[in-house]
Amino acid sequence: MNNPARRQRPTIHDVARVAGVSRGTVSRVLNGGHHVSPAAAEAVNAAIRRTGYVVNRHARSLITGRSGSAAFLLTEPQERFFEDPNFNVLLRGCTQALAAHDIPLLLMIAGSRDEQRRIVRYVTAGHVDGVLLVSSHTGDPVAAQLARAGTPVVACGKPMDPRAGRLAHVAADDREGAREMVRHLLSAGRRRIATIAGPQDTPGGVDRLAGYREVLAEAGLPFEETLVETGDYGRAGGRACAERLLARHPDVDALFVASDLMARGALEALGDAGRSVPGDVAVGGFDDSSAALASAPALTTVRQPWDRISQEMVRVLLDRIAGEDTSAVILPTELVVRETA
């Protein structure tokens, strides 16, 4: 009766008035409920329900200096990620894991130099509490700038740059995954095992190749440079690599390929060369993106636990925001045996 007709959203004042307590008490109930009598807490909660009050995050952020939100930042040539179905699993997993903590996720794509600048400014201005970073690049400049500004950052995948050793990250155990696959090939009786490695400026590429070499060595097989080709993770590249390998070593009986896309290309090359899979040549891939690339024959591959990776990324990020210093989490991969090996 004292107000104009227009109705505003209820504030903490309204709740306090309805509950018959002070703003401070309402605020305490909202943030953990310590030092509040049960009776007051109940009255406040009832008032919140009755008024339909919901906290104004802007006002809260203004005073606390924290935003209550996190960013999912993509700095890589984005195409590779947006084409990878596993990327979606990661993005969705992070979104939902954060949602469970009532933290909204901002999606940011740093393509151009200009976008990078804008994003760094936005983040370092404190409009985001932390950053989940996806970048397979060596020594990402954006990551460095954010880290320098003190923003909690958790990367997906092992950073290549040794200087970035302090960058928190969550990754699958590429090396052990590769080892498991090569052991699987060995146990199936294969002895001439070639590999199509990933780019050697990505940690995944390096570690998967390392795993391959180690297991061969442990099995007492000689390592031959000529059994190694290096591709670009893409389908066409995989095909070309396989063709070169076949030309050089017609006697190969197994192929460990560092990505499913390349493995698909290799399968095409093998088909063209008249080899049967897995009869003549066994093929093992990596990534388990095959679900989307599904076509016969079903690819045996190494699955990275993307759902768990996303959960751990969020956990580590929240830890870092809270001031704890969890640094690196390495998660086990899983060998998925299908038809090709």
Contact footprint for a second copy (CB under 8 A): 9, 54-59, 61-62, 67, 69, 72, 78, 82-83, 85, 87-89, 91-92, 95-96, 99, 102, 104-109, 111, 115, 118, 121-122, 124-127, 292-293, 295
- Residue in 17, 30, 45, 244 binding DNA, rule: CB under 7 A: 30
The interface partner of residue 304, options being a second copy, DNA, none and the CB cut-off 5 to 8 Å by kind, is: none
DSSP codes of every residue in 150-194? T--EEEES--S-GGGGGSEEEEE-HHHHHHHHHHHHHHTT---EE
If one counts every other C-beta atom within 10 angstroms of the C-beta of residue 238, the result is: 29
Location of structure tokens 């901002």: 106
Q: Which stretch binds DNA (CB under 7 A): 24-32, 92-100, 158-166, 248-256?
A: 24-32
Its sign, for the CA torsion 16, 32, 327, 212, is: negative
Give least dist CB 267 to a second copy, A.
Answer: 11
Residue 117 binds DNA, judged by CB under 7 A: no
Residue 49 binds DNA, judged by CB under 7 A: no
Tell me the residue type at 301: T
Q: 274: alpha, beta or left, given left = phi > 0 and alpha = psi -120 to 50? A: left
- C-beta of 153 vs 206, nearer to a second copy: 153
DSSP-assigned letter for residue 125:
I
Cβ pair 167, 131 in contact under 8 A: no
Tell me the residue type at 81: F
Residue 9 binds DNA, judged by CB under 7 A: yes
Give least dist CB 108 to DNA, A.
Answer: 21
Report the distance separating Cα 265 and Cα 260, nearest Å: 9
Give least dist CB 10 to a second copy, A.
Answer: 10
Give least dist CB 322 to DNA, A.
Answer: 13
Six token digits for residue 247 = 């030309």
The interface partner of residue 336, options being a second copy, DNA, none and the CB cut-off 5 to 8 Å by kind, is: none
- C-beta of 51 vs 230, nearer to DNA: 51
Report the distance separating Cα 203 and Cα 200, nearest Å: 7
Q: Which stretch binds DNA (CB under 7 A): 26-34, 75-83, 175-183, 268-276?
A: 26-34
Residue 100 binds DNA, judged by CB under 7 A: no
Report the distance separating Cα 289 and Cα 283, nearest Å: 15
Residues that bind DNA (CB under 7 A): 8-9, 11-13, 20-28, 30-31, 34-37, 39-41, 53, 55-56, 59-60, 62-64
